[in-house]
Amino acid sequence: MKSKILFVDDEPMVLQGLRRMLRSLAGGWDMTFVESGAEALEQLAATPFDVVVTDMRMPVMKGAELLERVRTLHPRAIRLLLSGQSSEETMLASVGPAHQFLAKPCDANRLKDTVRRACALRGLLDNVNLQRLLSQLGSLPSPISTSNCSPN
């Protein structure tokens, strides 16, 4: 079964770059790309996602606010935050709702590996109670192997 990944960024060119960068993984990941927090919440209401990757700085709804809503409404989703702002204030704002913070520009291999690890961790935790507990963690441990999620 394919892992479902939701990417959120208000910049269409960034989303286009992500699509291009991740195209080779489409066989193993079902990826959706949206331009706002509101669109992301609509997608999440329609179908569950395994991983949500969002930009921090967006108009109307910031990435941290989106991930806080995701944590409440969709606690099983792994939440990743991408940001070009690496200030202490920005990172502190993301600590609660995000499982992991990635700085922009993010190396393609690092992004792929981070999402693979998130998928592998989710795959290991089939128990609903364990998944709920995982959603409350402030950071994610690295699994020993990512073969459960590698789309090759």
The whole-angstrom separation of Cα 67 and Cα 33 is 16
Q: What is the pTM of this model?
A: 0.77
Q: What is the pLDDT of residue 150?
A: 46
Write down the architecture of domain 3-135 according to CATH.
3-Layer(aba) Sandwich (3.40)
pLDDT of residue 141: 62
- Alpha-carbon distance 19 to 69, whole Å? 25
DSSP E strand stretches across the chain: 3-8, 29-34, 51-55, 78-83, 100-103
Residue range 47-91, pLDDT digits in tens: 999 999 999 888 999 888 999 999 999 988 999 988 776 566 656
Q: Kindly state the average pLDDT of the residues 5-27.
A: 90
pLDDT for position 56: 87
